[in-house]
């Protein structure tokens, strides 16, 4: 049950768009449309941004969007804002009937 692979860090300027990747295997990301994305500010609990690859929960900003191709899922944040600076985690259901998270990506808004 290895963690999904995410870049350790990404950065962007206010107003720009960035994309965070999340790579797994055919036993998790590639095998199921059950990828979620979370935002976590320091000292806070994670907050759900995207579920089932591209769905947004009610109340989530439409600046966040998700997609998937093969074994890699992606989170795109458009119109970057200062408050977007946080850690982002992906997760996926697995064939072992478990959930696996990515290692997390630190987003810096320049």
Residues that bind another protein (CB under 8 A): 1, 3, 34, 36, 38, 44-48, 51-52, 57, 89, 91, 93, 97-104
Closest contact distance (angstroms) between CB of 25 and another protein is: 16
Element (DSSP H or E) covering residue 23: strand 18-23
Q: Which residue has the tokens 């998937």?
A: 68
For residues 39 and 71, which CB has a smaller minimum distance to another protein in the complex?
Answer: 39
Closest contact distance (angstroms) between CB of 56 and another protein is: 11
């Amino acid at each position: 049950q290895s963690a999904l692979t995410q870049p350790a860090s990404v950065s962007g300027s206010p107003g720009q768009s960035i994309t965070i990747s999340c790579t797994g295997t055919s036993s998790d990301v590639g095998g199921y449309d059950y990828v979620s994305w979370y935002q976590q500010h320091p000292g806070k609990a994670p907050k759900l941004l995207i579920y089932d690859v591209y769905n947004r929960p009610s109340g989530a900003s439409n600046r966040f969007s998700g997609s998937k191709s093969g074994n890699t899922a992606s989170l795109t944040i458009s119109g970057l804002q200062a408050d977007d600076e946080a850690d982002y985690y992906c997760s996926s259901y697995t064939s072992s009937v478990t959930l696996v998270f990515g290692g997390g990506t630190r987003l810096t808004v320049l």
